Amino acid sequence: MRRLVQANLDSLSNAERKVARALLAGYPTAGLTTGVDLARAAGVSNPTVVRFVNRLGFSGFPAFQRALVHDLNEDLGSPLRQYAEKGGLTEEGVLARTHRHFVDMVDTTYEELPESEFDKLVQLLSDPGKQVQVIGGRFSRVVSDYLAMHLSLVRTDVRALGMDEFERRASIIDADQSTVLVVFDYRRYTERTFRLAEQASQRGAIVCLLTDNWMSPVAKVAKVVLPARVDSASPFDSLVAAMAVTESLIAAVAERLGSAGEQRLRAMEETPDP
């Protein structure tokens, strides 16, 4: 269901896209109540929800919900269930199994990635009039810092946010319409990350989210969402596909900045160590 919704984002009307965002932000529970509840969450009329599910190919909301329940049963499992399913030895061997799984995971991520959303984020990250703030979680901070460091090589006004409380408060206070807040948030989402994104959004910041296929709650306030698969061959979620998408962003921003990015990189490399 997520793939179906994401694949149709570009063909939806503005009102229908609001329904899609509300569904993905609260997936799967947002679609398991009523059409009226989903319409209320999206801030649209109930007929808009009906048009949305029809656009996806369903005869009505009940048929849409049946497909959603099937998707829920197929995709979502607890960490303990993952450990039981993936923690044992197999004849295939760990190296071959993980190789195959990572290739499939990256391929699926790029197949599901909305190109229009990717292009929007590249445009925002390449805009010299925007200040960029980047934040990640306990593990995803590795990827968020990687993006921030590379962006700093080719443009100015890039800030990597850590876990410090005062640094985060300052980032919210400093946020305005010229701020692009890039949030890396994968399952095991935290309320703290959502609050930061929400408050920054309220101050005018453009929130951009890199998340998993289950969708962080930050999607509720995000203007751009780039999902990546995280389900790995081990009991633990993987950031391999997320890193691949981040590498694509870095490549696209460097290409878009052109000579300006090259000049900054040259200056960075020629500047003596302080």
Q: How do residues 27-72 score in pLDDT, each as one tens digit?
A: 876 886 788 889 999 999 999 999 999 999 999 988 888 787 666 5
Of the candidates 171, 116, 170, 160, the one whose C-alpha atom is nearest the C-alpha of residue 134 is 160
The CATH topology of domain 112-270 is Rossmann fold (3.40.50)
**% of the chain surpassing 70 pLDDT:** 91
Name the pTM for this structure. Answer: 0.75
Domain range list for the chain: 2-75, 112-270
Whole-angstrom Cα distance, residue 152 to residue 231? Answer: 30
The CATH topology of domain 2-75 is Arc Repressor Mutant, subunit A (1.10.10)
Instruction: Write the pLDDT tens digit of every residue in 142-187.
Output: 999 999 999 999 999 999 999 899 999 999 999 999 999 999 999 8
216 vs 184, higher pLDDT: 184
- 76: CB partners within 8 A, 6+ apart: 28, 214
Strand extents, DSSP E, 20-154:
131-135
Contact 236, 252 (CB under 8 A): no
Q: Could you tell me the strand order of the sheet in which 224-228 lies?
A: 158-161, 131-135, 179-185, 206-212, 224-228
Q: What is the pLDDT of residue 77?
A: 45
The CB density around residue 223, as the number of other CB atoms within 10 Å, is: 17
Instruction: Write the pLDDT tens digit of every residue in 67-97.
Output: 876 665 555 545 556 665 665 556 678 889 8
